[in-house]
Amino acid sequence: MKTSRRSFLAASAAFSAPFLFPSAFAGSVRRFAANEKVNVGVIGIGRISTTMDIPLAIKYTDLCRFTAVCDLDSKRLKHGVEYVKSRYRKLLKEENAAVKAFADYHDLLADPSIDAVEICLPDHWHALVACAALAAGKHVWLQKPFAQTITEGRLIANIAKMKRRVVQVGSWQRSVEQFHRVCELVRNGRIGDIRRVEVGIGLDKAGGSSKAEPVPENLNYDMWLGPTPGADVTPYNWTRVHTQNLKRIGDRPGWIQMAPYGWGMITNWGAHHIDIAQWGLGKDASGPESVSGTCEWMDTSGGRLWNVHTTYDLHYSYNGGKTELHVCNKFPMGVKFIGEKGEWLYCMRGAVKVTPSDPDVPANGKMQPLMASKNRLLEKIANPKIPLATSGDHWKNWLEAIRKDDPSFTVTNAEAAQRSSTACCLGQMCMELGRGKKEGASVSWCAAEEKPGSEEAKKLMKPFARGKYNLPDELRRYGLNFESVLKG
Protein backbone atom coordinates (compact mmCIF):
# COMPACT_ATOMS: atom_id res chain seq x y z
CA MET A 1 0.00 0.00 0.00
CA LYS A 2 1.26 3.48 -0.79
CA THR A 3 0.64 5.94 1.99
CA SER A 4 1.81 9.53 1.66
CA ARG A 5 4.16 10.71 4.41
CA ARG A 6 1.72 13.44 5.32
CA SER A 7 -1.26 11.10 5.71
CA PHE A 8 0.89 8.59 7.60
CA LEU A 9 2.05 11.26 10.05
CA ALA A 10 -1.47 12.55 10.49
CA ALA A 11 -2.76 9.06 11.26
CA SER A 12 0.07 8.20 13.66
CA ALA A 13 -0.28 11.47 15.52
CA ALA A 14 -3.98 10.86 15.90
CA PHE A 15 -3.63 7.41 17.36
CA SER A 16 -0.36 7.39 19.26
CA ALA A 17 -0.53 10.65 21.19
CA PRO A 18 -0.50 9.93 24.93
CA PHE A 19 -3.71 11.87 25.21
CA LEU A 20 -6.33 10.73 27.66
CA PHE A 21 -9.71 12.35 27.42
CA PRO A 22 -10.48 14.50 30.49
CA SER A 23 -13.27 12.49 32.12
CA ALA A 24 -14.92 15.65 33.48
CA PHE A 25 -16.01 16.51 29.90
CA ALA A 26 -18.00 13.32 29.58
CA GLY A 27 -19.74 13.47 32.93
CA SER A 28 -22.87 15.56 33.28
CA VAL A 29 -25.44 16.01 30.56
CA ARG A 30 -26.03 19.60 29.41
CA ARG A 31 -29.53 20.91 30.21
CA PHE A 32 -30.98 23.11 27.49
CA ALA A 33 -32.92 26.28 28.30
CA ALA A 34 -35.90 26.97 26.00
CA ASN A 35 -33.93 29.16 23.58
CA GLU A 36 -30.65 27.22 23.65
CA LYS A 37 -29.57 25.18 20.66
CA VAL A 38 -27.82 21.85 20.37
CA ASN A 39 -24.34 22.39 18.90
CA VAL A 40 -23.77 19.69 16.29
CA GLY A 41 -20.58 18.42 14.62
CA VAL A 42 -20.67 16.18 11.54
CA ILE A 43 -18.15 13.35 11.13
CA GLY A 44 -17.95 12.22 7.50
CA ILE A 45 -18.71 14.61 4.66
CA GLY A 46 -19.93 12.27 1.95
CA ARG A 47 -23.06 11.26 0.11
CA ILE A 48 -25.40 10.88 3.04
CA SER A 49 -24.33 13.85 5.14
CA THR A 50 -24.61 16.25 2.22
CA THR A 51 -27.87 14.86 0.81
CA MET A 52 -29.68 13.94 4.05
CA ASP A 53 -28.11 14.30 7.46
CA ILE A 54 -26.97 17.93 7.28
CA PRO A 55 -29.87 19.40 5.26
CA LEU A 56 -32.59 17.51 7.14
CA ALA A 57 -31.34 18.58 10.58
CA ILE A 58 -29.81 22.03 10.00
CA LYS A 59 -33.20 23.36 8.86
CA TYR A 60 -34.37 23.21 12.50
CA THR A 61 -32.55 26.43 13.24
CA ASP A 62 -34.53 26.86 16.46
CA LEU A 63 -33.27 23.49 17.76
CA CYS A 64 -29.66 23.21 16.61
CA ARG A 65 -26.57 24.92 15.31
CA PHE A 66 -24.06 23.10 13.10
CA THR A 67 -20.65 24.30 14.30
CA ALA A 68 -18.08 21.74 13.11
CA VAL A 69 -17.27 19.23 10.41
CA CYS A 70 -14.70 16.43 10.16
CA ASP A 71 -13.33 14.31 7.32
CA LEU A 72 -10.05 12.55 6.62
CA ASP A 73 -10.24 13.69 2.98
CA SER A 74 -9.18 17.36 3.10
CA LYS A 75 -11.03 18.16 -0.16
CA ARG A 76 -14.29 16.89 1.37
CA LEU A 77 -13.52 18.62 4.67
CA LYS A 78 -13.25 21.99 2.89
CA HIS A 79 -16.42 21.18 0.99
CA GLY A 80 -18.17 20.45 4.31
CA VAL A 81 -17.25 23.86 5.72
CA GLU A 82 -18.51 25.60 2.58
CA TYR A 83 -21.64 23.46 2.53
CA VAL A 84 -22.66 24.35 6.10
CA LYS A 85 -21.89 28.04 5.47
CA SER A 86 -24.04 27.96 2.34
CA ARG A 87 -26.98 26.45 4.27
CA TYR A 88 -26.79 29.24 6.85
CA ARG A 89 -26.61 31.85 4.07
CA LYS A 90 -29.84 30.41 2.73
CA LEU A 91 -31.60 29.71 6.02
CA LEU A 92 -30.54 32.68 8.15
CA LYS A 93 -28.99 35.12 5.64
CA GLU A 94 -25.69 34.81 7.52
CA GLU A 95 -22.80 35.67 5.23
CA ASN A 96 -20.00 33.84 7.00
CA ALA A 97 -21.18 31.35 9.62
CA ALA A 98 -18.42 30.02 11.88
CA VAL A 99 -17.68 26.35 11.13
CA LYS A 100 -14.70 24.53 12.65
CA ALA A 101 -12.86 21.92 10.55
CA PHE A 102 -11.20 18.77 11.95
CA ALA A 103 -9.15 16.15 10.11
CA ASP A 104 -9.29 13.81 13.12
CA TYR A 105 -12.53 13.02 14.94
CA HIS A 106 -10.73 12.83 18.30
CA ASP A 107 -10.07 16.56 18.08
CA LEU A 108 -13.72 17.30 17.32
CA LEU A 109 -14.81 15.09 20.25
CA ALA A 110 -12.41 16.97 22.56
CA ASP A 111 -14.22 20.26 21.85
CA PRO A 112 -16.49 20.78 24.87
CA SER A 113 -18.72 23.25 22.99
CA ILE A 114 -20.03 20.42 20.78
CA ASP A 115 -23.04 18.65 22.30
CA ALA A 116 -23.84 16.10 19.61
CA VAL A 117 -22.38 14.47 16.53
CA GLU A 118 -23.79 13.07 13.34
CA ILE A 119 -21.70 10.01 12.37
CA CYS A 120 -21.99 9.57 8.62
CA LEU A 121 -19.09 7.20 7.97
CA PRO A 122 -18.53 3.98 6.03
CA ASP A 123 -19.80 1.01 8.06
CA HIS A 124 -16.36 -0.26 9.12
CA TRP A 125 -15.83 2.98 11.05
CA HIS A 126 -19.18 3.14 12.89
CA ALA A 127 -18.19 1.34 16.09
CA LEU A 128 -14.89 3.07 16.78
CA VAL A 129 -16.30 6.56 16.33
CA ALA A 130 -19.69 5.92 17.97
CA CYS A 131 -18.05 4.39 21.06
CA ALA A 132 -15.57 7.27 21.26
CA ALA A 133 -18.27 9.91 20.82
CA LEU A 134 -20.54 8.44 23.50
CA ALA A 135 -17.61 7.90 25.85
CA ALA A 136 -16.70 11.56 25.30
CA GLY A 137 -20.23 12.49 26.40
CA LYS A 138 -21.68 13.47 23.01
CA HIS A 139 -25.19 12.61 21.90
CA VAL A 140 -25.05 10.58 18.72
CA TRP A 141 -26.80 10.35 15.38
CA LEU A 142 -25.37 7.17 13.88
CA GLN A 143 -26.03 6.18 10.32
CA LYS A 144 -27.27 2.67 9.73
CA PRO A 145 -26.18 -0.10 9.78
CA PHE A 146 -25.69 0.33 13.53
CA ALA A 147 -22.54 -1.81 13.56
CA GLN A 148 -20.50 -4.16 11.42
CA THR A 149 -20.46 -6.99 13.99
CA ILE A 150 -22.75 -7.99 16.88
CA THR A 151 -20.10 -7.34 19.55
CA GLU A 152 -19.41 -3.86 18.19
CA GLY A 153 -23.11 -3.06 18.44
CA ARG A 154 -23.33 -4.34 22.02
CA LEU A 155 -20.47 -2.03 23.00
CA ILE A 156 -22.15 1.02 21.44
CA ALA A 157 -25.48 0.25 23.14
CA ASN A 158 -23.84 -0.35 26.51
CA ILE A 159 -21.84 2.90 26.44
CA ALA A 160 -24.97 4.84 25.41
CA LYS A 161 -26.75 3.41 28.45
CA MET A 162 -23.81 3.90 30.79
CA LYS A 163 -23.38 7.55 29.77
CA ARG A 164 -27.14 8.21 29.40
CA ARG A 165 -26.71 9.82 26.00
CA VAL A 166 -29.28 10.06 23.22
CA VAL A 167 -28.75 7.86 20.18
CA GLN A 168 -30.77 7.92 16.98
CA VAL A 169 -29.83 5.44 14.27
CA GLY A 170 -30.42 6.25 10.59
CA SER A 171 -33.06 3.51 10.16
CA TRP A 172 -35.48 6.36 9.51
CA GLN A 173 -38.43 4.33 8.20
CA ARG A 174 -39.68 4.15 11.82
CA SER A 175 -40.45 7.87 11.45
CA VAL A 176 -42.52 7.40 8.30
CA GLU A 177 -46.31 7.02 8.49
CA GLN A 178 -46.85 3.81 6.46
CA PHE A 179 -44.20 1.81 8.36
CA HIS A 180 -45.47 3.05 11.72
CA ARG A 181 -49.10 2.31 10.75
CA VAL A 182 -48.44 -1.27 9.64
CA CYS A 183 -46.26 -2.10 12.65
CA GLU A 184 -48.82 -0.68 15.06
CA LEU A 185 -51.65 -2.62 13.38
CA VAL A 186 -49.62 -5.82 13.50
CA ARG A 187 -48.62 -5.34 17.14
CA ASN A 188 -52.27 -4.79 18.06
CA GLY A 189 -53.47 -7.98 16.40
CA ARG A 190 -55.24 -6.61 13.30
CA ILE A 191 -54.34 -9.75 11.33
CA GLY A 192 -53.98 -12.08 14.33
CA ASP A 193 -50.78 -13.96 15.12
CA ILE A 194 -48.11 -13.42 12.52
CA ARG A 195 -47.08 -16.56 10.70
CA ARG A 196 -44.78 -15.14 8.03
CA VAL A 197 -43.00 -11.92 7.20
CA GLU A 198 -41.65 -11.49 3.68
CA VAL A 199 -38.88 -8.96 3.14
CA GLY A 200 -37.16 -7.82 -0.06
CA ILE A 201 -34.01 -5.71 0.30
CA GLY A 202 -32.98 -5.24 -3.35
CA LEU A 203 -29.88 -6.36 -5.21
CA ASP A 204 -26.40 -4.92 -5.64
CA LYS A 205 -24.60 -5.03 -8.97
CA ALA A 206 -21.00 -6.15 -9.58
CA GLY A 207 -18.41 -3.55 -10.58
CA GLY A 208 -15.48 -1.45 -9.40
CA SER A 209 -11.85 -1.92 -10.39
CA SER A 210 -8.97 -3.59 -8.57
CA LYS A 211 -6.33 -1.67 -10.61
CA ALA A 212 -3.88 0.11 -8.27
CA GLU A 213 -3.97 3.91 -8.52
CA PRO A 214 -1.90 6.55 -6.70
CA VAL A 215 -3.47 7.65 -3.42
CA PRO A 216 -4.70 11.26 -3.74
CA GLU A 217 -2.65 13.69 -1.61
CA ASN A 218 -5.82 14.96 0.03
CA LEU A 219 -6.88 11.49 1.31
CA ASN A 220 -5.61 9.85 4.51
CA TYR A 221 -6.00 6.38 3.01
CA ASP A 222 -4.42 4.47 5.89
CA MET A 223 -6.97 5.95 8.26
CA TRP A 224 -9.82 5.39 5.80
CA LEU A 225 -8.94 1.66 5.81
CA GLY A 226 -8.95 1.90 9.62
CA PRO A 227 -9.52 -1.37 11.48
CA THR A 228 -10.15 -3.56 8.41
CA PRO A 229 -8.17 -6.80 8.14
CA GLY A 230 -5.52 -6.95 5.42
CA ALA A 231 -5.54 -3.18 5.01
CA ASP A 232 -1.73 -2.93 5.09
CA VAL A 233 -1.55 -4.48 1.62
CA THR A 234 -4.73 -3.02 0.13
CA PRO A 235 -4.05 -1.06 -3.08
CA TYR A 236 -5.98 2.16 -3.57
CA ASN A 237 -8.53 2.50 -6.31
CA TRP A 238 -11.20 5.19 -6.07
CA THR A 239 -13.94 2.61 -6.66
CA ARG A 240 -13.00 1.02 -3.32
CA VAL A 241 -13.34 4.35 -1.50
CA HIS A 242 -15.33 7.33 -2.80
CA THR A 243 -15.30 9.67 -5.78
CA GLN A 244 -12.77 12.49 -5.91
CA ASN A 245 -15.16 14.54 -8.04
CA LEU A 246 -17.05 16.77 -5.62
CA LYS A 247 -19.82 17.28 -8.18
CA ARG A 248 -20.55 13.53 -7.80
CA ILE A 249 -20.41 13.45 -3.98
CA GLY A 250 -24.04 12.27 -3.93
CA ASP A 251 -23.16 9.06 -5.85
CA ARG A 252 -23.17 5.65 -4.20
CA PRO A 253 -19.60 5.05 -2.94
CA GLY A 254 -17.84 1.82 -4.05
CA TRP A 255 -17.12 0.51 -0.52
CA ILE A 256 -20.84 -0.01 0.10
CA GLN A 257 -20.80 -3.18 -2.02
CA MET A 258 -17.39 -4.33 -0.81
CA ALA A 259 -16.51 -6.43 2.24
CA PRO A 260 -15.07 -5.76 4.76
CA TYR A 261 -16.23 -2.12 4.58
CA GLY A 262 -19.88 -3.12 4.16
CA TRP A 263 -21.65 -6.48 3.91
CA GLY A 264 -23.99 -5.54 1.04
CA MET A 265 -27.77 -5.40 1.09
CA ILE A 266 -28.22 -7.72 4.08
CA THR A 267 -26.96 -5.02 6.44
CA ASN A 268 -27.39 -2.03 4.10
CA TRP A 269 -31.13 -2.26 3.34
CA GLY A 270 -31.63 -4.93 6.00
CA ALA A 271 -31.10 -2.05 8.44
CA HIS A 272 -34.29 -0.57 6.97
CA HIS A 273 -36.63 -3.45 6.19
CA ILE A 274 -35.45 -6.13 8.68
CA ASP A 275 -35.60 -3.32 11.24
CA ILE A 276 -39.28 -2.81 10.38
CA ALA A 277 -39.92 -6.59 10.61
CA GLN A 278 -38.34 -6.60 14.07
CA TRP A 279 -40.43 -3.57 15.13
CA GLY A 280 -43.67 -5.15 13.91
CA LEU A 281 -42.86 -8.45 15.61
CA GLY A 282 -42.15 -6.66 18.90
CA LYS A 283 -38.52 -7.77 19.02
CA ASP A 284 -36.83 -4.52 20.07
CA ALA A 285 -35.36 -6.32 23.07
CA SER A 286 -34.80 -9.76 21.55
CA GLY A 287 -34.67 -11.33 18.08
CA PRO A 288 -34.71 -14.50 16.02
CA GLU A 289 -33.74 -17.94 17.29
CA SER A 290 -32.03 -19.07 14.11
CA VAL A 291 -31.38 -18.27 10.49
CA SER A 292 -30.59 -20.61 7.64
CA GLY A 293 -30.28 -20.19 3.90
CA THR A 294 -28.14 -19.54 0.88
CA CYS A 295 -26.81 -16.72 -1.27
CA GLU A 296 -24.71 -16.09 -4.33
CA TRP A 297 -21.63 -13.90 -4.44
CA MET A 298 -20.55 -11.26 -6.94
CA ASP A 299 -18.40 -12.31 -9.84
CA THR A 300 -15.03 -10.61 -9.32
CA SER A 301 -13.41 -11.90 -12.53
CA GLY A 302 -11.84 -9.46 -14.98
CA GLY A 303 -10.47 -7.20 -12.21
CA ARG A 304 -13.89 -6.32 -10.84
CA LEU A 305 -13.54 -5.27 -7.24
CA TRP A 306 -16.90 -5.45 -5.50
CA ASN A 307 -17.46 -8.71 -3.72
CA VAL A 308 -20.58 -8.79 -1.53
CA HIS A 309 -23.53 -11.16 -1.92
CA THR A 310 -26.00 -10.89 -4.79
CA THR A 311 -29.13 -13.12 -4.60
CA TYR A 312 -30.21 -14.30 -1.15
CA ASP A 313 -32.74 -16.65 0.40
CA LEU A 314 -32.71 -16.55 4.19
CA HIS A 315 -35.21 -18.10 6.60
CA TYR A 316 -35.31 -16.72 10.14
CA SER A 317 -37.22 -18.46 12.89
CA TYR A 318 -38.98 -16.46 15.65
CA ASN A 319 -41.35 -17.30 18.51
CA GLY A 320 -40.25 -20.91 18.87
CA GLY A 321 -40.72 -21.57 15.17
CA LYS A 322 -44.28 -20.15 15.00
CA THR A 323 -43.17 -17.14 12.93
CA GLU A 324 -40.91 -17.17 9.91
CA LEU A 325 -39.12 -14.14 8.50
CA HIS A 326 -38.23 -14.90 4.91
CA VAL A 327 -35.72 -12.51 3.34
CA CYS A 328 -35.41 -13.17 -0.37
CA ASN A 329 -34.45 -11.19 -3.44
CA LYS A 330 -37.61 -12.50 -5.18
CA PHE A 331 -39.81 -10.32 -2.96
CA PRO A 332 -40.41 -6.67 -3.83
CA MET A 333 -38.60 -4.11 -1.69
CA GLY A 334 -40.57 -3.71 1.52
CA VAL A 335 -42.12 -5.69 4.34
CA LYS A 336 -45.21 -7.93 4.16
CA PHE A 337 -46.71 -9.30 7.38
CA ILE A 338 -48.96 -12.34 6.89
CA GLY A 339 -51.38 -13.35 9.65
CA GLU A 340 -52.75 -16.70 10.80
CA LYS A 341 -55.73 -16.54 8.40
CA GLY A 342 -53.67 -15.48 5.40
CA GLU A 343 -54.59 -11.78 5.65
CA TRP A 344 -51.66 -9.45 5.02
CA LEU A 345 -50.36 -5.92 5.52
CA TYR A 346 -47.55 -4.49 3.40
CA CYS A 347 -45.42 -1.36 3.62
CA MET A 348 -42.64 0.08 1.51
CA ARG A 349 -41.30 3.47 0.50
CA GLY A 350 -43.40 3.70 -2.65
CA ALA A 351 -41.70 5.56 -5.44
CA VAL A 352 -39.67 7.61 -2.98
CA LYS A 353 -35.92 7.53 -3.46
CA VAL A 354 -33.77 8.74 -0.61
CA THR A 355 -30.68 9.38 -2.65
CA PRO A 356 -30.63 9.56 -6.45
CA SER A 357 -28.48 6.42 -6.61
CA ASP A 358 -30.72 4.16 -4.51
CA PRO A 359 -30.89 0.83 -6.35
CA ASP A 360 -33.90 -1.16 -7.29
CA VAL A 361 -36.67 1.11 -6.01
CA PRO A 362 -39.57 1.12 -8.50
CA ALA A 363 -39.90 4.72 -9.63
CA ASN A 364 -43.13 4.22 -11.61
CA GLY A 365 -45.40 4.62 -8.60
CA LYS A 366 -47.06 1.22 -9.28
CA MET A 367 -46.25 -0.16 -5.86
CA GLN A 368 -48.19 1.69 -3.21
CA PRO A 369 -46.44 2.48 0.05
CA LEU A 370 -49.28 0.94 2.05
CA MET A 371 -51.27 -2.10 0.90
CA ALA A 372 -53.35 -4.89 2.46
CA SER A 373 -55.27 -8.01 1.45
CA LYS A 374 -58.44 -5.96 2.23
CA ASN A 375 -58.47 -2.17 2.42
CA ARG A 376 -60.37 -2.08 5.72
CA LEU A 377 -57.40 -3.77 7.41
CA LEU A 378 -55.50 -0.52 6.99
CA GLU A 379 -57.84 1.55 9.14
CA LYS A 380 -56.03 3.22 12.03
CA ILE A 381 -56.70 2.09 15.59
CA ALA A 382 -57.99 5.05 17.61
CA ASN A 383 -56.57 4.02 20.99
CA PRO A 384 -54.12 1.17 20.45
CA LYS A 385 -53.40 -1.06 23.46
CA ILE A 386 -49.79 -1.21 22.33
CA PRO A 387 -48.99 2.25 20.98
CA LEU A 388 -45.70 2.47 19.09
CA ALA A 389 -43.46 5.50 19.59
CA THR A 390 -44.39 8.15 17.05
CA SER A 391 -42.00 10.51 15.30
CA GLY A 392 -43.01 12.44 12.23
CA ASP A 393 -39.39 13.34 11.50
CA HIS A 394 -36.34 11.25 12.38
CA TRP A 395 -33.88 14.18 12.61
CA LYS A 396 -36.21 16.40 14.65
CA ASN A 397 -36.99 13.43 16.93
CA TRP A 398 -33.24 13.18 17.69
CA LEU A 399 -32.83 16.89 18.40
CA GLU A 400 -35.95 16.96 20.58
CA ALA A 401 -34.76 13.93 22.57
CA ILE A 402 -31.47 15.74 23.28
CA ARG A 403 -33.24 18.92 24.37
CA LYS A 404 -35.60 16.91 26.57
CA ASP A 405 -32.64 14.93 27.94
CA ASP A 406 -34.56 11.72 27.25
CA PRO A 407 -32.64 8.87 25.54
CA SER A 408 -35.85 6.79 25.36
CA PHE A 409 -37.56 9.42 23.16
CA THR A 410 -35.81 8.46 19.90
CA VAL A 411 -37.73 5.92 17.79
CA THR A 412 -34.58 4.07 16.71
CA ASN A 413 -32.64 4.08 19.96
CA ALA A 414 -29.41 2.16 20.54
CA GLU A 415 -30.94 -0.96 22.11
CA ALA A 416 -33.60 -1.42 19.42
CA ALA A 417 -31.01 -0.75 16.72
CA GLN A 418 -28.65 -3.33 18.23
CA ARG A 419 -31.38 -5.98 18.05
CA SER A 420 -32.25 -5.20 14.42
CA SER A 421 -28.57 -4.98 13.55
CA THR A 422 -28.04 -8.38 15.18
CA ALA A 423 -30.72 -9.93 12.94
CA CYS A 424 -28.95 -8.48 9.89
CA CYS A 425 -25.51 -9.59 11.10
CA LEU A 426 -26.83 -13.12 11.73
CA GLY A 427 -27.98 -13.19 8.09
CA GLN A 428 -24.52 -12.07 6.98
CA MET A 429 -22.88 -14.70 9.22
CA CYS A 430 -25.13 -17.40 7.76
CA MET A 431 -24.15 -16.34 4.23
CA GLU A 432 -20.46 -16.31 5.13
CA LEU A 433 -20.57 -19.74 6.80
CA GLY A 434 -22.37 -21.16 3.77
CA ARG A 435 -19.75 -19.88 1.33
CA GLY A 436 -18.95 -22.63 -1.18
CA LYS A 437 -21.69 -24.96 0.18
CA LYS A 438 -24.65 -25.59 -2.10
CA GLU A 439 -26.98 -26.24 0.85
CA GLY A 440 -25.88 -23.02 2.58
CA ALA A 441 -25.57 -22.82 6.37
CA SER A 442 -27.52 -22.22 9.49
CA VAL A 443 -26.82 -20.24 12.67
CA SER A 444 -28.70 -20.65 15.93
CA TRP A 445 -28.98 -17.72 18.31
CA CYS A 446 -29.81 -17.20 21.96
CA ALA A 447 -31.18 -13.65 22.06
CA ALA A 448 -31.31 -13.49 25.87
CA GLU A 449 -27.58 -14.16 26.18
CA GLU A 450 -26.66 -12.77 22.76
CA LYS A 451 -24.76 -15.96 21.97
CA PRO A 452 -24.66 -18.08 18.81
CA GLY A 453 -24.78 -21.88 18.91
CA SER A 454 -21.37 -22.51 17.34
CA GLU A 455 -17.77 -21.44 17.78
CA GLU A 456 -17.38 -20.63 14.08
CA ALA A 457 -20.32 -18.19 14.31
CA LYS A 458 -18.88 -16.68 17.50
CA LYS A 459 -15.68 -15.82 15.64
CA LEU A 460 -17.69 -13.72 13.16
CA MET A 461 -19.09 -11.57 15.98
CA LYS A 462 -15.71 -10.09 16.86
CA PRO A 463 -14.94 -6.43 16.22
CA PHE A 464 -12.36 -5.57 13.58
CA ALA A 465 -8.93 -4.45 14.78
CA ARG A 466 -5.76 -3.44 12.94
CA GLY A 467 -2.77 -1.96 14.74
CA LYS A 468 -3.76 1.27 16.44
CA TYR A 469 -7.31 1.08 15.11
CA ASN A 470 -8.92 -1.08 17.76
CA LEU A 471 -11.73 -0.77 20.27
CA PRO A 472 -9.85 -1.68 23.48
CA ASP A 473 -7.34 1.17 22.91
CA GLU A 474 -10.06 3.55 21.76
CA LEU A 475 -12.08 2.91 24.93
CA ARG A 476 -8.98 3.17 27.14
CA ARG A 477 -8.40 6.64 25.73
CA TYR A 478 -11.72 7.64 27.30
CA GLY A 479 -11.12 5.83 30.58
CA LEU A 480 -13.24 2.75 29.72
CA ASN A 481 -12.35 -0.93 29.75
CA PHE A 482 -13.45 -3.09 26.80
CA GLU A 483 -14.35 -6.19 28.85
CA SER A 484 -16.26 -4.26 31.54
CA VAL A 485 -18.22 -2.30 28.94
CA LEU A 486 -19.11 -5.52 27.15
CA LYS A 487 -20.48 -7.05 30.33
CA GLY A 488 -22.65 -3.95 30.78
Ligand X SMILES: NC(=O)c1ccc[n+]([C@@H]2O[C@H](COP(=O)([O-])OP(=O)(O)OC[C@H]3O[C@@H](n4cnc5c(N)ncnc54)[C@H](O)[C@@H]3O)[C@@H](O)[C@H]2O)c1
Residues engaged in binding ligand X (CB under 6 A): 43-48, 70-73, 76, 105, 120-123, 125, 143-144, 170, 172, 223-224, 226, 242, 253, 268, 354-355
Closest separation in Å from C-beta 302 to ligand X: 24
Closest separation in Å from C-beta 70 to ligand X: 5
CB contact at 8 A, 168 and 406? no
**How many angstroms separate the CA atoms of 68 and 202, rounded?**
35
CB contact at 8 A, 234 and 225? yes
C-alpha atoms less than 13 angstroms from C-alpha of 237 in its C-beta half-sphere: 17
Q: Is the dihedral of CA 340, 344, 345, 351 positive or negative?
A: positive
| CA angle at 7 for the pair 2 and 11, rounded to the nearest 5° | 115
Closest residue to ligand X using C-beta atoms = 46
Cβ distance to ligand X smaller for residue 190 or 242: 242
Cβ distance to ligand X smaller for residue 317 or 422: 422
Phi, psi for 344 (deg, rounded to 5): -140, 155
The continuous run of DSSP H or E covering 441 comes out as: strand 441-446
Cβ distance to ligand X smaller for residue 223 or 274: 223
Cβ distance to ligand X smaller for residue 73 or 474: 73
Cβ distance to ligand X smaller for residue 256 or 441: 256
Closest separation in Å from C-beta 96 to ligand X: 24
Closest separation in Å from C-beta 114 to ligand X: 15
Closest separation in Å from C-beta 174 to ligand X: 11
Closest separation in Å from C-beta 463 to ligand X: 15
Of 182, 186, 173, 179, which is closest to residue 385 (Cα–Cα)?
186
Closest separation in Å from C-beta 225 to ligand X: 9
Cβ distance to ligand X smaller for residue 157 or 223: 223
Q: What is the b/e burial string over 237-257, where b = at least 16 CB atoms within 10 angstroms of the residue's CB?
A: bbbbbbbeeeeebbebbbbbb
Cβ distance to ligand X smaller for residue 244 or 454: 244
Closest separation in Å from C-beta 246 to ligand X: 10
CB contact at 8 A, 104 and 135? no
Cβ distance to ligand X smaller for residue 223 or 399: 223
Any long-range contacts for 285-288 (C-beta under 8 Å, 24+ apart)?
Answer: 285/415, 285/416, 285/419, 286/419, 286/447, 286/448, 287/318, 287/419, 287/422, 287/423, 287/426, 287/445, 287/447, 288/316, 288/317, 288/318, 288/325, 288/423, 288/426, 288/445, 288/447
